[in-house]
């Protein structure tokens, strides 16, 4: 398993070792001991899965403390542009975002720690996204930021007028208006 920080403290790209032969392939998508060897010590308690059609943008979502979530995301079918935004006050990357294409073919994963907003857009005809969370869903802690926030300027790889957005996500506040209660701690 290859784990590397992607330029924003705590945000990690994970690439599993894949064994392929004439029968197909095998890989470990998660192994608690291997993650711990890379300094990732969260314990996952909930798995989520969604399926969306091309052009759907989900996000940007997060839960505030004390119910913040670390997420480990991968794609089972199709391809997405996965985006994480640093919301941690005092972080050297506060307000910065990172985007990566994740697909069933490249098998990449993104570890999005607490203190980040997260979202994705579907680049293929459809995509099935699977992610692990280290804290349970808590409706009272759910927050979000409008996907097309001008301050962030995220290129979702789909024209804004063609993005398929839920009614709930269309009402999310801007980056500056959104409630955030995260503080950057040295070491992530």
DSSP β-bridge partners for residue 165? none
Catalytic residue flag (residue 131) = yes
- Spatial neighbors of 62 by CB under 8 A, at least 6 apart, are 68, 69, 87, 116, 117, 118, 142, 143, 144
Catalytic residue flag (residue 137) = no
User: For residue 35, which phi and psi values (nearest 5 degrees)?
Assistant: -65, -40
CA angle 151, 155, 160 (to 5 degrees): 90
Which one is catalytic: 25, 38, 61, 176? 61
CA distance 161 to 126: 19
Among all chains, which residue has been given the structure tokens 């993104």? 110
Which one is catalytic: 62, 98, 118, 131? 131
Q: How far is CA 3 from the centre of its chain?
A: 15
Tell me which residues are annotated as active site. 61, 131
């Amino acid at each position: 398993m290859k784990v590397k920080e992607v330029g924003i403290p705590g945000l990690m790209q994970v690439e599993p070792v894949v064994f392929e032969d004439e029968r197909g392939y095998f890989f470990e998508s998660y192994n608690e001991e291997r993650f711990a060897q890379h300094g990732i010590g969260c314990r996952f308690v909930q798995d989520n899965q969604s399926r969306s059609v091309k052009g759907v943008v989900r996000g940007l979502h997060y839960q505030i403390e004390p119910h913040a979530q670390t997420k480990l995301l991968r794609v089972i079918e199709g391809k997405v542009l996965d985006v994480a935004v640093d919301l941690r006050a005092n972080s050297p990357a506060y307000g910065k975002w990172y985007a990566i294409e994740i697909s069933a073919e490249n098998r990449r994963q993104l570890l999005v720690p607490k203190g980040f907003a997260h979202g994705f857009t579907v680049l293929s005809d459809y995509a099935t996204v699977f992610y692990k969370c280290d804290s349970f869903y808590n409706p009272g802690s759910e927050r979000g930021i409008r996907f097309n926030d001008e301050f962030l300027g995220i290129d979702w790889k789909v024209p804004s007028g063609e993005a398929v957005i839920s009614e709930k996500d269309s009402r999310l506040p801007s980056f500056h208006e959104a409630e955030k209660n995260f503080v950057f701690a040295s070491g992530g």
